Structure 1
Amino acid sequence: MPYQLSILGVYVPTVIVLCLAGIAVTWVVDCVLSRLEVYSHVWHPALLRAAMLAGICATLDLLAYHSF
């Protein structure tokens, strides 16, 4: 995968695009967990959301850059 993508003639780092995708995935997972009322059993919901975002973005980056 290239380290930069050309979007409308502007070179953007691929990591930024993958993190934007990670934000969208995290939002969907957050909606599902909210409907299942999982956050009522969690000590700190905001901390769980931040950890999910970091984990999903890191997973997307690893899949993009280290896929075989």
Structure 2
Amino acid sequence: MLSEFNLFGVLIAPIVVYAIAAIPATLLLRFLFWRTGAIEWFWHVALFEVALYVSVLCLLILYV
């Protein structure tokens, strides 16, 4: 678990760091789903992508 992140004297909550770190991981997974055609399995693609981001964010919070 991270502690507060100091950015030029401003303390930033760890959730912000995790949220920013989750974006590239989500984009990579999203690219893989689109490239393999697995995205067609889902009824609502935008809802799936939001759920994917939330899942990656939760995994980062739990295991990093």
> Shorter-chain TM-score category?
0.7 to 0.9
Per the alignment, residue 62 of structure 1 pairs with: 62
* Compared CA separation, residues 26 and 2, structure 1 to 2 (3 A): closer
Structure 1 runs of 4+ aligned residues shifted over 3 Å read none
Cα RMSD after superposing both structures: 1.3
Q: Following TM superposition, by how much is the alpha carbon of 1:2 offset from its aligned partner in structure 2, in angstroms?
A: 4.0
Q: What SS class does the counterpart of residue 32 from structure 1 fall into?
A: helix
The one-letter amino acid of 1:29's match is L
Q: Following TM superposition, by how much is the alpha carbon of 1:38 offset from its aligned partner in structure 2, in angstroms?
A: 1.1
Q: Following TM superposition, by how much is the alpha carbon of 1:8 offset from its aligned partner in structure 2, in angstroms?
A: 3.2
Q: Which structure 1 residue ranges, 5 or more long, are not aligned? A: none
Q: Distance in 2 between matches of 1:58 and 1:12?
A: 18
Q: Following TM superposition, by how much is the alpha carbon of 1:3 offset from its aligned partner in structure 2, in angstroms?
A: 2.8
Q: Following TM superposition, by how much is the alpha carbon of 1:10 offset from its aligned partner in structure 2, in angstroms?
A: 2.4
Per the alignment, residue 44 of structure 1 pairs with: 44
Q: Which structure 2 residue ranges, 5 or more long, are not aligned? A: none
Q: Following TM superposition, by how much is the alpha carbon of 1:6 offset from its aligned partner in structure 2, in angstroms?
A: 1.0
Question: Does residue 31 of the first structure (1) align with residue 31 of the second (2)?
Answer: yes
Per the alignment, residue 18 of structure 1 pairs with: 18
TM-score, normalised relative to structure 1: 0.81
Q: What SS class does the counterpart of residue 28 from structure 1 fall into?
A: helix
Identity %: 23
